[in-house]
Amino acid sequence: MKVVSFYRFLDLVSPHEFRIALQSACEEHELLGTILVAAEGFNGTIAGAPESMRAVLGWIENHLSLQEPIEGRWTEAAEAPFRRMRVRLKKEIVTLGRPDILPHERTGTYVPPEQWNALLDDPNVLVVDTRNHYEVEVGTFPRALDPQTDSFRQFPEFAKELAKTSKDRPLAMFCTGGIRCEKATALMLELGFAQVYHLQGGILKYLEDIPTEQNRWNGECFVFDTRVAVDRDLAEGGYVQCHACRRPLSSEDLASPDYREGVSCPSCINDLDADRAARLEERHRQVELARERGDTHIGPR
């Protein structure tokens, strides 16, 4: 089945009413996925039949009277990467902890994928990966700076420190689908950076558009669904996910004595207490029983 990720920063006058109507539209077209709605816009990933997803994107465009069509990042999945359809109301559609930062009013310069390699090749340009550290470990661009964050909320602290030493350097920023780097560039402009660029459509659009012989991406790209990661061809990658901490796990991680399926991995073993281990063991047992029955276990994580 097809999977499409999309977002748009804009002023939503009635986000609550929009959320209800959008949930109904997605259910009518039998889609699965998650869409976040806030006063600053919407951000989502949905899966289903291509014609159904195009119908919902068209519904959003018509409902909000958008002047430009929604440009999604399309990938594929062998099976449904989501278990349900949820449209959720949030304070931010990507949680920077700064709802006052409004990219649709001021943001960096979009760089289409075909022009991105020129920034990578310019030694004066500081390339910044705006994603979390566990995503960077799965794959990134050459010489990209890793902010070492565990959540996007931590990015402003990294940005403030970077501004102390590198405010005069051009910045080239990127993320999975474009939304985090777009909001991050707005923050960087506020901090005094003058030349701020971001990869239009994110890594997924780059992998979709750039031919193999010109592709500079190293590794796989983490995605926030059950596929865990996609490779350079946008096919499902070779990572699985730890059910305890949600980190992506490589073949080396799976071979570690600290890995216990459904319970722990090398990244979270030191934070695992006996009570949580027992709960995770029980959840894993229920998952296995459901699998034997041919059911999908949906429980707390």
Give the C-alpha separation, 140 to 144, whole Å.
Answer: 7
Contact 90, 167 (CB under 8 A): no
**Residues 6 or more apart whose Cβ sits within 8 Å of residue 211:** none
The string of DSSP codes covering 169-233 is S-EEEE-SSSHHHHHHHHHHHHTT-S-EEEETTHHHHHHHHS-GGG---EE-EE-SSTT-EE-TT
Structural Rg of the chain based on CA atoms: 20
Token pair of 284 as six digits: 């894993």
Comparing CA positions, the residue from 4, 183, 220 lying closest to residue 102 is 183
Give the C-alpha separation, 42 to 36, whole Å.
Answer: 6
- Rounded to the nearest 10 degrees, how much is the dihedral formed by the CA atoms of 156, 161, 163, 164? 150
Catalytic annotation present for 175: yes
Length of the chain: 301
Active-site option among 175, 221, 242, 265: 175
**Residues 6 or more apart whose Cβ sits within 8 Å of residue 35:** 22, 26, 42, 43, 44, 45, 46, 86, 87, 88
Catalytic residue list = 175
